[in-house]
Amino acid sequence: MKRVLEKSGFEVLEAADGKKCQEAVAERLPDVVILDILMPEQDGLETLRALRGLYSELKILAISGGALGQQFDWLHFAKQLGADAVLEKPFSNETLLNVVHSLLSSHARAGSTP
C-alpha cells in the first residue's frame, strides 16, 4: 500500500502497531489514517476507538482480511466505532486510491465554508 500511495503522490508514514500509530498521529495529524484491524500490541479497533475519541474530524479507513476460522464481521464493527470507510482484503490498488481520494475530498468539503 505504501508504494502505491507514494507513486500517486501521497506522503506515507508507517506504524508497526496501534500504539505507535497513536503516537505518530499525536506528533503529526495526518489527513487519513489507514488501520488494519488485526495488529500486534494494540488492535485496530482499539486504536480506532482512541483516535476517534481524540480527533473527531480525522478520516479513518479500516481494512481487514478477517482471521481464519472467525466469523465476526470486523469491518462492520469498525464502521460502528466510527471508521469513515472500510475495505476488505484483498482489494485492488485502484480501489484503495479511490477510497483515499474520496476521504480526502470529503475532508476538504467539510473544511470549506459555504
Please report, for residues 23, 27, 38, 85, the alpha-carbon distance to residue 106 in angstroms, rounded to integers and kept in the order given.
Answer: 25, 23, 26, 11
User: Can you tell me the distance from the alpha carbon of 36 to that of 11, in angstroms, rounded to the nearest whole number?
Assistant: 18
Query: Model's pTM, two decimal places?
Result: 0.88
Within 10 angstroms of residue 12's Cβ, the number of other Cβ atoms is 12
Band (pLDDT 50/70/90 cuts) for residue 46 is very high
- Alpha helices per DSSP H over 28-111: 44-54, 74-80, 93-111
62-109: per-residue pLDDT in tens? 999 865 455 568 899 999 999 999 999 999 999 999 999 999 998 565
Superfamily of chain region 2-104? Response regulator (3.40.50.2300)
pLDDT at 67: 55
